[in-house]
Chain A
């Protein structure tokens, strides 16, 4: 009992640290909102007419869930860079010599990073509503946040895993862009997944982000591709896997 309480405290203090750092670095906060806002406005108004002519319906309705997901994954995965920063600025040593399990440290950090990502996603959600997105307000509305949390967890875990094995802060964004851009473009965030070539379909199917985008869009707009339950199950499985992998790699860090 005492042990559980202590573990919770440790997770909480690590979580709190991430939150405080986020609130204090307003430039980072605003900077990471810039790209999704640009996508939302430029694509929304730029492609909207074509999408509608092609019979796709209101493009903002389709696009907004994808951009919300985009905000979350980028914020989430980039929190992995903090692992590298903590290595370089020495703070990681402080946590690594403490008599606490590496798993609690990893969980606390991941929850912190994921919380920040979800908050950023909610900010974009609100902005999308302001520029004309109409989410369905039904009983299942809160489910949208479940999907947001799941993709946030998955991508924070992935970021931490990558941050654990990398030592170079400059290499991180390069690797991330190389990895994330294809995931993002082939996730159904920007265009529907139906009627696509077999190759793209397969790529989308093994992409965890597809399920996150599909889940959020399913709840908020009512358009589903894979099915809400499938989305949920696949995301949970992916997240659990990556959290284990991330914890393992994190526990192997040398300082």
Chain B
């Protein structure tokens, strides 16, 4: 379903994605794990026609997003890492806008919007403006919206960041159900190891634009000779949780600057 061949993306001289090759089968749930700045979002942007590769090729269901962007756009749904709602519109208006954009027929749209909003527990608040919502509520709405047109592939870039465990459960159950019933391919990134271990059929670990390991959670634990995915990740990337890692580096840099003075 997703075919990546020698994919490279440079921003000026900086190599964000470095000669990457892998594939995701139809109906698979595939997790992309990696520290901050590993190149996960950059890959997703390339798959979803927002960025063009510097070199290499990508095929989504056999179609090249550079050559046929609109054909590829019909196939996927995406939940972006950063916000993408219209704050001045209500929940329902955001959903309807999406439905019309993707040509979801009216009756179907009405039913699905109700079903999805109930799933993310926003149905009661459907007529409220999004701008008054909390971060987690906005996230839930974005997830509901991304699923509205029942795409063949769904890209989720850290979908459950900042959500409470119960909501995360709901959402993953819904996505798994879609995956099983409609054979939807799921490609997601996350920083929650236990989530990846639980949900994904297959996991790729990416660091500095390169895939360092790939396999099921059990396989990754096996090849690294560790006891959990968390430990395997640490062994493969040398980092625990990226946010903390980055912060430490920043702090070290600041300290160095202070010492120099």
Contact = CB atoms under 8 A, between A and B. Distances in A.
A11 to B, nearest CB: 10
B85 interface: yes
A13 B93 CA distance: 10
Given A17-B89, A20-B88, A24-B88, A93 B70 contact: no
B93 A95 contact: no
A137 to B, nearest CB: 38
Given A21-B88, A89-B87, A90-B82, A97 B103 contact: no
A93 B102 contact: no
Contact of A95 (B80, B83, B101, B103): B101
B161 interface: no
Interface string B73-99: 110101010111111110001001110
Contact of A6 (B51, B97, B98, B103): B103
B102 A98 contact: yes
A90 B70 contact: no
Contacts of B234: none
Nearest to B48: A97
A123 interface: no
A17 B86 contact: yes
Interface in A67-109: 89-91, 93-101
Contact of B70 (A6, A21, A101): A101
A19 to B, nearest CB: 11
B50 interface: yes
A101 B70 CA distance: 8
Given A99-B70, A99-B73, A99-B74, A13 B101 contact: yes
A208 to B, nearest CB: 30
B100 interface: yes
Majority DSSP secondary structure for residues of A touching B: helix
B237 interface: no
A6 B75 CA distance: 17
Given A94-B98, A96-B50, A99-B70, A89 B89 contact: no
Contacts of A93: 50, 80, 84
A10 B96 CA distance: 11
A87 to B, nearest CB: 11
B49 interface: yes
Given A96-B50, A99-B70, A101-B70, A10 B83 contact: no
B84 A94 contact: yes
Greatest chain A CB density within 10 A among B76, B84, B85 is at B84
Given A6-B103, A99-B70, A20 B84 contact: no
A13 B100 contact: yes
A110 B164 CA distance: 40
A255 interface: yes
B47 to A, nearest CB: 10
A47 interface: no
A24 B131 CA distance: 12
Contact of A9 (B70, B84, B93, B100): B100
Contacts of A89: 83, 87
Nearest to B72: A99
A25 interface: yes
Contacts of B129: 24
Interface in A1-46: 6, 9-10, 13, 17, 20-21, 24-25
A254 B70 CA distance: 16
B50 A10 contact: no
Contacts of A24: 88, 129
Contacts of B73: 97-99
A234 to B, nearest CB: 35
Given A24-B88, A97-B48, 19 more contacts: A9-B103, A17-B89, A17-B93, A17-B97, A20-B93, A89-B83, A89-B87, A90-B83, A90-B84, A91-B85, A93-B50, A93-B84, A94-B86, A94-B101, A97-B50, A97-B78, A99-B73, A99-B74, A99-B103
Interface of B: 48-51, 70-71, 73-74, 76, 78, 80, 82-89, 93, 96-98, 100-103, 129
8 contacts: A13-B97, A20-B88, A89-B83, A94-B85, A96-B50, A97-B76, A98-B98, A101-B70
